[in-house]
Amino acid sequence: MEELYGKIAHCVEFGKINLASPYPPDMKGQEGADELTKKAIDEGFPPEEVLKKGLVVGMEKIGVKFRENKVFVPQVLMSAKAMSTAMEHLRPFFESGAVKRKGIFVIGTVAGDLHDIGKNLVSMMVKGSGFEVVDLGTDVNGQQFIEAIKQHPGCYVGLSALLTTTMVNMEKIVAEIKAAVPDTKILIGGAPVSEEFKEKIHADFYSRDPQGAVDFLNRSVA
């Protein structure tokens, strides 16, 4: 069992999606996260363990490597693709309630900003840690965030911005959310954003890398 979990984690960490995928080159011709996860489920391994001891472990490893600048965006994207492909085999267990999500994370790029690469990275990493992610897309205003928060009570919220001109909108959106649903925990991120900025606009958490957001969410639900 443990050996198969280790293999699944390895495939996710190194972005090995399935048998057909040529990436990474040194794993060519081997089974990927897709086949191995299916095998684990078919053999009756507990889905919860497949998630926690396999997929989540792999995503956390790539998240830490990304934080340490040992890998860059392309490697994280391949890992996320491997993870999401494997996750399909777990979908029935999420739907039946046999496997529980850790919590719900609502994320969007703030009003006026159409950039989505950073937002997508965080979204994939959080999903890969076992949360349900509600992705509102780009150019999202305060009202849209508030509606989603009301639909998903107790959710955590992530705001993303790439531009120095749109990070300003974060302040307004944080204030609107806190006024409408005061206990909401709001995470912010993006190239121009900083810890100091987080303090100024009264958001709850800032991280310069996606894994920081994952760690914060895991601490919060623990």
Partner 1 sequence: MKKITDLIKSGKTLVSDGAWGTFLQAKGLEPGECPELWNITRADDVLDIARRYIDAGADMIETNSFGGSVFKLKNYGLQDRVFEINKAAAAISRQAAGPDKFVLGSIGPTGKILMMGEVTVEALYDGFKEQAMALEAGGADAIMIETMTDLEEAILAIKAAKEHTRCEVFCTMTFDKTLTNEFRSMMGVSPTDMVMQIVDAGADLIGANCGNGTRDMVGIVKEIRQANGDIPVLIHSNAGMPLYKDGKTVFPESPEEMAQFTHELVEAGANIIGGCCGTTPAHIARIVEIVKK
Report if residue 171 touches partner 1, rule: CB under 8 A. yes
Which residue's CB is nearer to partner 1, number 41 or number 168? 168
CA contacts within 13 A on the Cβ side of 87? 23
**Cβ 32 vs Cβ 7: under 8 Å:** no
Site size for partner 1, by CB under 8 A?
31
Is 73 near partner 1 (CB under 8 A)?
A: yes
Q: How far is the CB of 141 from partner 1 (least distance, A)?
A: 10
By beta-carbon proximity to partner 1, the closer residue of 109 and 217 is: 109
Report CA-CA distances (Å) from 129 to 101, 140, 161.
9, 24, 22
**For partner 1, which is the closer residue by CB, 71 or 186?**
71
| 11 or 78: CB nearest partner 1 | 78
Q: Which residue has the tokens 């998630």?
A: 51
Residue 167: both structure tokens together: 């990070």
CA 135 to centroid of chain Cα atoms? 10
Of the candidates 79, 176, 94, 159, the one whose C-alpha atom is nearest the C-alpha of residue 130 is 94
Residue 16 near partner 1 by CB under 8 A: no
Q: Note the residues at the interface with partner 1 (CB under 8 A).
A: 68-69, 71-75, 77-78, 81, 111-117, 139, 163-169, 171, 192, 194, 196-197, 200
